[in-house]
Structure 1
Amino acid sequence: MSQYLPLFPLNIVVYPGEKLNLHIFEPRYKQLVLDCMMDGKNFGIPTYIQNGVGQYGTEVEILNIEKKYDNGEMDIRSRGVRTFKILSFDKTAPGRLYAGGEVESIVYQDDEDIITKTKIQELMQQLYEALGLKGLASSLSDDFNSFTVAHQLGLNLEQEYALLQMKSESDRQELILQHLQNILPIVLETERLKERVKQNGHFKSLTPPEF
C-alpha cells in the first residue's frame, strides 16, 4: 500500500531505528517541519546520490523540536521508522515549497545468520581496537543488526545506500563481512607502519638470530 510523503532529500543514508538530529534552515524545509508537526505526519529522507534523488529512503518521525531560533530556523530530533521506495516524485508537493512523492514501504526479511554475525562481531572488535576505540568495541551489543552498526564501518555512501536496498538481513551481513575482511588488513598494516615510524631514531634492543 502506497502513501504520499513530504520529502527531504539529503546526501546521507538514514536507517530504520536510527536517531537523527537536524538543523533546519531553508524556508522549504522549515515549512515541511511545521506542516508535519501541525498534522502529526512523518516525512521521508530519500538519499541524494550521484547528482540525483535516489529511489530509496527512510520515513522519519519528528520526536521534538529541540530549539527554535528568532529567524525561524530549528533544531529537531527525529528517528527513522521504515524504508520506502519512491513510486513518483514531485519537485514541489501540491501547494507547498518542499518536495513530495508517492512511496511504498519495503518489507525486510529477518533471516540473520548467527555464524556470519559472530564473524562480524569479532572483526569489528579487532577494527575498533586497532583504531584505539576500545570503548566502541566494548559497547557493541549482542543483539546488533546490520542497520545499527552500518555507520560505524567506514562504508562509503554508495555502500550504505546498497545496504538500505537489500531486503535480506543475511545479504546485508555478507556485504558487511566482506567489507570488514577487505579493510581490516589495511588498517592493521597502517597501524604497524605508524608504530615503525614512531620507533625510527630510537635505540633498539634487538636479539640477533642464531646461526
Structure 2
Amino acid sequence: MQKFLPLFPLNLVVFPLEDLNLHIFEPRYRQLIKDAIQQDSTFGIPAFIEGKMQGFGTEVKITSVYKVYDDGRMDIKTQGVRVFRILDFQNPVEGKLYAGGEVEALKDPEITPPVLPKLLEQINDLYLLLGEDNKFNIQKPQPYSFQIAHKIGLSIEKEYELLKMPTEAERQAYISKHLEKVLPVLQELERTKERIRMNGHFKNLDPLNF
C-alpha cells in the first residue's frame, strides 16, 4: 500500500508498537505535529544515520499531547505503527516547512509469533550477567524482537538492519547471532572482575597431585 507521509527524520530507529516520547521544538516539526493533530493523521520517522537519511522508517501515530509550552514547543507521546520504504522524497513539501514523501507501507508485524527457546535463554543469561531484571513479556502485543532490540547492545546500524527484516523469525535469528558474540565477552569480563575481587584474599587451594 502506498501513501503520502510527512517525514520527521531522527537519529534513531523506531520499531512498530514502540512507545516514543518526543520534545518538539523546531518550527518545521511544530507545524508537522499541529497538522497531524488537526487532520488526525500519522507521520513517518525515517532513520537518519551518519548524516544521511535512510530509505526505511516507521509510521507513527500521536497518542497524546503531554504538554504545550507558551513558546509553542510540545511534549508528545507517540507509538510506532508499521515499517515503510520511501519511494519519493520532497524537502520541503509544497507550502510547508517540513519534508514528506510517498512511501510504501510494509506488512504489519506479527503480533505473537513463537519465541525461539535459545533466544529466551540468551536474554536470561544476558540480564543475569548485567544484574538486571528480565521483564520482557512474550505475551505482550509486540513482536519479541522489537521489545528487546534497544536493550541488548545493538548499534543503531544493526537496529536499522533489524527494522528492514520482513519476518519475526529472521529478526530473532539475527539477535541470537549477535548475542552469541556478546555473551562470551560479558562472561569473560565477569570472570575478570571476580579475579580482581579475589586478589589479596586468603585462598583455599586444592592440593595438586603430581
Structure 1 length normalisation: TM-score?
Answer: 0.92
Which deviations, in whole Å up to 9, do the C-alpha atoms of 1:101-139 show, x marking residues without a partner? 11011126759985x711000000000001101x2x2x2
2:6 corresponds to 1:10: no
- Name whichever of 68-77 and 9-18 sits farther off: 68-77
1:140 correspondence with 2:136:
yes
Tell me the secondary structure at the aligned position of residue 155 of structure 1. Answer: coil
Q: CA RMSD in A?
A: 1.8
Q: Which amino acid aligns with 1:165?
A: K
SS in 1 for 2:191: helix
CA drift at 1:204: 2.3
Structure 1: distance between partners of 2:158 and 2:122: 18
AA at the equivalent of 1:209: L
Give runs of aligned pairs for residues 166-185 of structure 1, distance below 5 A.
Answer: 166-185=165-184
Q: Residues 146-172 of structure 1, C-alpha deviation per residue, up to 9 Å, x if partnerless?
A: 112111111111111011111122111
Question: How far, CA to CA, are the matches of 1:34 and 1:168 in structure 2?
Answer: 34
Contact 1:108 1:167 in 2 (8 A): no
Q: Provide the C-alpha distance between the structure 1 equivalents of 2:113 and 2:124, rounded to a whole number of angstroms.
A: 18
- Per-residue deviation, residues 33-83 of structure 1 (Å, max 9, x unmatched): 111111111110000013211110000000111011122111110000111
CA distance in 2, matches of 1:108, 1:184: 31
2:95 and 2:200 map into 1 onto residues whose CA distance is 70
* Mapped contact 2:61–2:81 kept (Cα < 8 A): yes
How many residue pairs get aligned? The number is: 207
Indicate whether 1:149 and 2:145 are aligned.
no
Q: Structure 1 CA distance, aligned partners of 2:112 and 2:171?
A: 9
Give the Cα–Cα distance (whole angstroms) in 1 for the partners of residues 41 and 113 of structure 2.
36
| Identical-pair percentage | 47
Farther off after superposition, 142-151 or 190-199: 142-151
Instruction: Tell me how far 1:179 sits from its aligned partner.
Output: 0.5
Q: Separation in 1 of the partners of 2:113 and 2:99?
A: 39
What is aligned with 1:33? 33
Query: Which residue identity does 1:142 align to in structure 2?
Result: I
Q: Note if 1:49 corresponds to 2:49.
A: yes
Q: Secondary structure at the match of 2:116?
A: helix
Matches within 5 A, 1:154-169: 154-169=153-168
The structural deviation recorded for 1:94 is: 1.4
